[in-house]
Structure 1
Amino acid sequence: MAEGNYVKADLTLLGKDHIHAYQDTDGEVGYLWNGVPTLLLTTVGRRTGARRTTALIFARDGDDYLVVASTGGSPRDPDWYLNLSANPAVEIQVRAQHLQVVARTASDDEKPRLWKIVTDVWPNYDLYQSRTTRRIPVVVLSPA
């Protein structure tokens, strides 16, 4: 396992608590999580049509935002990834800024470069990839 750069995460702000704190404070609480930046991603449920919001670590590549569908190395893709795959027009909140973006999965050709960018922000992604045979996607969120 790739544990050399593993960072033990403080999980005190997680899930709905993270999302509500971020929304209520325009990111004053929750933007930085374990020393790394997070955004809120809102997708539309592929079966329910309900809006779903998830807090995710992100990196930047020019004007694009990068997120990783890792779920800690789970064998299945996270629901938010399945939702945006079905409907790539999504919304993000970065601190107080709300942006409409279009999501796409990084191509095989661009993924190595983008993987380096995201693992520079959160080295644990390498460990997560070692935990699963699933090829963990990097998602590019481009302003609409």
Structure 2
Amino acid sequence: MSVLGTIARRVGHHRWFGTAARLLVPADRAVGRLTRGRIVALGLAPSLILTTTGRRSGKPRSNPLLYVRDGDAYVVIGSNWGQTHQPGWSMNLLADPAAEVAVKGRRIPVRAEVATGTERDRLWELLVTAWPAYRAYVRRAGGREIRVFRLVPVGRGAAGDSTLRG
């Protein structure tokens, strides 16, 4: 992890970081779009761009997110920077689990699965190991359970498929 990434992990617990980070999301989206997903979160942590279908608009909606790997799947969390409401992208995935991720410049179709029970607990530990501030986000969100999703590659993005191009 870079020096900036280490600093970000340390300050990520503070409320002001969540506010500042939310303000940077539009810039992060633009950088991710311009670099075709090669640079997300300013390269501070493993990040991807998740594109969902808007549940009301039907339009594509893209969001930069931190992720961890779980086998071939990508694990993301609907933390919404510790706000008391769920992020729109997580509700979009509940309405339509078909989505796409851009990771290191590769676009991969995925299907979202909401993690529950012991599977959620296991994935939660992977997430907080990568970004310990998620624990603080739960406190800021009033203790609400934060959704954890496994994004499983499908079709041309599935494991062992060599058709992806970077």
Q: TM-score range by the shorter chain?
A: 0.7 to 0.9
Match in the other structure for 2:76: 67
Match in the other structure for 1:137: 147
CA RMSD of aligned residues (A): 2.0
User: What are the Cα deviations for residues 35-77 of structure 1, in whole angstroms up to 9, with x where unaligned?
Assistant: 3111000011111101100000111111010000011221111
**1:13: Cα distance to partner?**
8.0
User: What are the Cα deviations for residues 90-131 of structure 1, in whole angstroms up to 9, with x where unaligned?
Assistant: 000002100000001101121111111011111100111122
Report the CA distance shift for 1:134/1:94 in structure 2 as closer, same or farther (over 3 A): same
* 1:26 counterpart = 2:14: no
Amino acid paired to 2:111: V
Report the CA distance shift for 1:13/1:73 in structure 2 as closer, same or farther (over 3 A): closer
Q: 1:45, 1:52 within 8 Å by CA — same for their partners in 2? A: yes
CA–CA distance in structure 1, aligned partners of residues 95 and 108 of structure 2: 19
**Structure with greater contact order relative to length (CA < 8 Å, sep ≥ 6):** 1
1:84-99 to 2 correspondences below 5 Å: 84-99=93-108
Q: 1:7, 1:123 within 8 Å by CA — same for their partners in 2? A: no
Q: 2:53, 2:99 within 8 Å by CA — same for their partners in 1? A: yes
* 1:7 counterpart = 2:11: yes
Q: How many residues align?
A: 139
**1:32: Cα distance to partner?**
4.8
TM-score w.r.t. the length of structure 1 is 0.87
Larger Cα Rg: Structure 1 or Structure 2?
2
Q: SS in structure 1 opposite 2:65?
A: strand
CA–CA distance in structure 2, aligned partners of residues 80 and 103 of structure 1: 11
Amino acid paired to 2:11: V
TM-score w.r.t. the length of structure 2 is 0.76
CA–CA distance in structure 1, aligned partners of residues 144 and 131 of structure 2: 19
- List, as ranges, runs of 4+ consecutive aligned residues in structure 1 with deviation greater than 6 Å: none
Amino acid paired to 1:118: L
Higher helix share: 2
Match in the other structure for 1:16: 26
Higher alpha-carbon deviation: 5-14 or 16-25 = 5-14
Q: SS in structure 2 opposite 1:48?
A: coil
Report the CA distance shift for 1:124/1:105 in structure 2 as closer, same or farther (over 3 A): same
